Amino acid sequence: MSGLLLEQHLVVARAQLGDEQAFQWLVHHYTPRLLWFVRKIGLSPVNADDVVQNVWLAAWSSLHRLRKVDRFRSWLYGIARNKALQYVAQVREVPIANFESVPDAPDDSFFERYMPHLNEALDRLSVIHREILALRFLEGMTYEELSEATGTSVGTVKSRLHNAKVALREKLEVIVDD
């Protein structure tokens, strides 16, 4: 385990014991990432701020129930996902991804070629596709962490990730061809 990861686990453990400074460190460290994540789900900057504030309130009130500090990140993103989707459901209807059979996902070189257009393409994806890509590639979550954060099985995570890559490829091709 890396030193930084061990340090984060110790901070989480201190926060669980009521150490407000430790919790503030977590807030400072994770808030920019959470804001980006909930924005990719479809929230405006102002609404994203509100949702992330609610995420931290929920995290603070239930942090003592987290059994394994090494699960903090996926637990926190699970809260963020749920709060963002609850907010979106209250405000407007969000299309749910279509998980029908799709062609093979592209390799990594494809994404390197289209990197300048990535944010625009991500914004055109469904919520489910944006969130799985953000958690996997921005946060570097494992399949198991993704499963925990999204409340789905590892098999579903793999399927969603595959479909999200294919959908992203299609959006990038449309953007670049325009």
**Residue at token pair 């603070």:** 60
Whether the Cβ atoms of residue 62 and residue 12 lie closer than 8 Å to each other: no
Q: What is the pTM of this model?
A: 0.62
Reported as a pLDDT band with limits 50, 70 and 90, residue 3 is low
Over residues 73-86, mean pLDDT: 92
Q: Which residue has the higher pLDDT, 75 or 90?
A: 75
Residue 30, pLDDT > 80, answer yes
Tokens of 47: 């609404």
Residue 63, pLDDT > 90, answer yes
Q: How far apart are CA 55 and CA 159, in angstroms?
A: 27
CB count within 10 Å of CB 72 equals: 21
pLDDT in tens, 99-115: 333 344 445 565 566 66
Whether the Cβ atoms of residue 124 and residue 95 lie closer than 8 Å to each other: no
Mean residue pLDDT across the chain = 82
Q: How far apart are CA 52 and CA 43, in angstroms?
A: 11
Q: Which pLDDT belongs to residue 100?
A: 37
Q: Which residue has the higher pLDDT, 147 or 112?
A: 147
Q: Which pLDDT belongs to residue 2?
A: 61
Q: Which pLDDT belongs to residue 105?
A: 46
pLDDT in tens, 33-62: 999 888 888 788 888 899 999 999 999 999
Residue ranges per structural domain of the chain: 3-91, 108-177
Class of domain 108-177 (CATH, top level): mainly alpha
Class of domain 3-91 (CATH, top level): mainly alpha
| Ramachandran angles phi, psi of 97, nearest 5° | -60, 145
Q: Which pLDDT belongs to residue 102?
A: 35
DSSP letters for the chain: --HHHHHHHHHHHHHHTT-HHHHHHHHHHHHHHHHHHHHHHT--HHHHHHHHHHHHHHHHHHGGG---GGGHHHHHHHHHHHHHHHHHHHHS--PPPP----PPPP-HHHHHHTGGGHHHHHHTS-HHHHHHHIIIIIS---HHHHHHHHTS-HHHHHHHHHHHHHHHHHHHHHHHH-
Over residues 162-167, mean pLDDT: 90
Tokens of 115: 């990197």
Q: Which pLDDT belongs to residue 89?
A: 75
